[in-house]
Amino acid sequence: MPFPEDDLKIFTCNGHPELARRMCDYLQLPLGDASVSRFPDGEINIKINEDVRGRDIFIVQPTSPPVNENLMELLVMVDAARRSSARRITAVIPYYGYARKDRKEEGRVPITAKLVANLLVKAGVDRVLALDLHATQIQGFFDIPLDHLFSFPVLCNHFQELNIPDLVVATPDVGGIRMARAFSNVLKAGLAVVDKRRLSPEESSVGFIIGEVADRNILLVDDMITTGGSLSAAAVVLKEKGARQIFAAAAHPVFCGPAVERIAASPISKIVVTDSIPLNSKAQALGDRIQVLTVSKLLGEAVHRIHMNESVSSLFMKQ
Ligand code: R5P
């Protein structure tokens, strides 16, 4: 779908250039030419190497680890585009970091999800395209348009094709019921809830399970895998309760700390994730136990529709 007058341009930083390239392949566009490097002291040095005056610019950058580097690169790239007279700047953020703190649950703590929204708008972002935000209320932290997509259709289609018999979709914590119900509806599967208690950012424990899991195949669904504690703890208890094979699906494969070791030692036989962020080398060591599906077509199609002022809502696929 070639675009008239060279009006749409996609740029990327170092967060996930492969995803940006895949989106460009889908859109049949060359990736915008920009240099993203470092000054000797570590400061970010960006130069946009082509004319963007009056153009519709999309900057693809997940703010995944290294979070601060990726966030700052995005802000600096937005500043460069703004000062180069881009007509409109859309930040395409397939993974929105600093999302954990979205409210004050105790005194003297920040709301970092709002802070990041403020920084993006202040830098010059006109709209945001996000994927599987950790909390949907983050949309309201922006007073500019934000399109919130879900990787759900990509992940769900995959499991539909596998046609796993006697399937029960399980959420590793109560907060994920909505997502699990959406999967179970489409896959015509049962539904189970694992009662997870978060003990610390790295540790969680499992209390009880609601739903029939004995002698069933299980699909655990979550928005992200960070330390792997939630999924591995849930899988162990599901197995103890008599589950057969356990699969897992998650949008964002963050895989930090002990995640790989935990997943490797868990009874999960296969994990399916997306390329919203790059799969780090430790996670790649999981070999055949992990499969990455691309969200580049979903994001590319959304970029196309935003650029053409067409509806994006049919891509939302309600959960
Ligand atoms: C919790 O609110 C999230 O949906 C995930 O369950 C959580 O972030 C996963 O973290 P971890 O892999 O460290 O248990």
The answer to whether the CB of 225 is under 6 A from ligand 1 is: yes
> Quick one: pLDDT at residue 237?
94
pLDDT-derived band at 313, boundaries 50, 70, 90: confident
Residue nearest to atom 5 of ligand 1 (CA): 224
Report the distance separating Cα 112 and Cα 160, nearest Å.
37
Q: Tokens in use for 49? A: 């190497």
> Quick one: pLDDT at residue 207?
77
Q: How many CB atoms lie within 10 A of CB 39?
A: 8
* Ligand 1 center to 272 CA (angstroms): 15
Q: Note the pLDDT tens digit of each residue in 159-171.
A: 999 999 999 999 9
Atom of ligand 1 nearest to the CA of 204: 14
Q: Note the pLDDT tens digit of each residue in 51-80.
A: 999 999 999 999 999 999 999 999 999 999
* φ, ψ (nearest 5 deg) of residue 196: -90, 135
> Quick one: pLDDT at residue 62?
98
Query: Is pLDDT of 130 > 70?
Result: yes
State the average pLDDT over residues 28-45: 98
pLDDT-derived band at 205, boundaries 50, 70, 90: confident
> Quick one: pLDDT at residue 316?
74
Residue nearest to atom 13 of ligand 1 (CA): 227
> Quick one: pLDDT at residue 3?
54
The answer to whether the CB of 229 is under 6 A from ligand 1 is: yes
> Quick one: pLDDT at residue 126?
98
State the average pLDDT over residues 127-133: 98
Asked if 17 and 36 touch (Cβ cutoff 8 Å), the reply is: no
The answer to whether the CB of 204 is under 6 A from ligand 1 is: yes
Handedness of CA 255, 259, 264, 266 (dihedral sign): negative
Query: Is pLDDT of 317 > 70?
Result: no
State the average pLDDT over residues 5-16: 93
Atom of ligand 1 nearest to the CA of 172: 6
> Quick one: pLDDT at residue 150?
97
State the average pLDDT over residues 264-292: 97
pLDDT-derived band at 299, boundaries 50, 70, 90: very high
* φ, ψ (nearest 5 deg) of residue 15: -65, -45
State the average pLDDT over residues 178-188: 97
Atom of ligand 1 nearest to the CA of 230: 14
Q: Note the pLDDT tens digit of each residue in 232-254.
A: 999 999 999 999 999 999 999 99
Query: Is pLDDT of 190 > 90?
Result: yes
Atom of ligand 1 nearest to the CA of 227: 13
Q: Note the pLDDT tens digit of each residue in 206-216.
A: 778 999 999 99
Q: Which of 223, 255, 256 to mutate to test the pocket of ligand 1 (most atoms within 8 A of CB)?
A: 223
The answer to whether the CB of 220 is under 6 A from ligand 1 is: no
> Quick one: pLDDT at residue 319?
53
> Quick one: pLDDT at residue 294?
98
Higher pLDDT, 221 or 175: 221
* Ligand 1 center to 198 CA (angstroms): 9
Report the distance separating Cα 297 and Cα 239, nearest Å.
36
State the average pLDDT over residues 100-129: 97
pLDDT-derived band at 6, boundaries 50, 70, 90: confident
Q: Mean pLDDT, the chain, as a whole number?
A: 95
Report the distance separating Cα 191 and Cα 250, nearest Å.
17
The answer to whether the CB of 132 is under 6 A from ligand 1 is: no
* Ligand 1 center to 44 CA (angstroms): 31
Report the distance separating Cα 186 and Cα 181, nearest Å.
9
The answer to whether the CB of 226 is under 6 A from ligand 1 is: yes
- Which residues are tagged catalytic? 196
The answer to whether the CB of 201 is under 6 A from ligand 1 is: no
pTM value is 0.95
Domains in the chain, CATH or no CATH each: 8-150+296-315 (3.40.50.2020), 152-293 (3.40.50.2020)
Bridge partner residues of 218 (DSSP): 168, 246
Q: Which of 64, 179, 224, 273 to mutate to test the pocket of ligand 1 (most atoms within 8 A of CB)?
A: 224
* Ligand 1 center to 86 CA (angstroms): 37
Please report how the helices 152-162 and 177-187 are oriented relative to each other, as an axis angle in degrees rounded to 10: 40
Report the distance separating Cα 235 and Cα 269, nearest Å.
10
Report the distance separating Cα 112 and Cα 287, nearest Å.
34
* φ, ψ (nearest 5 deg) of residue 42: 100, -10
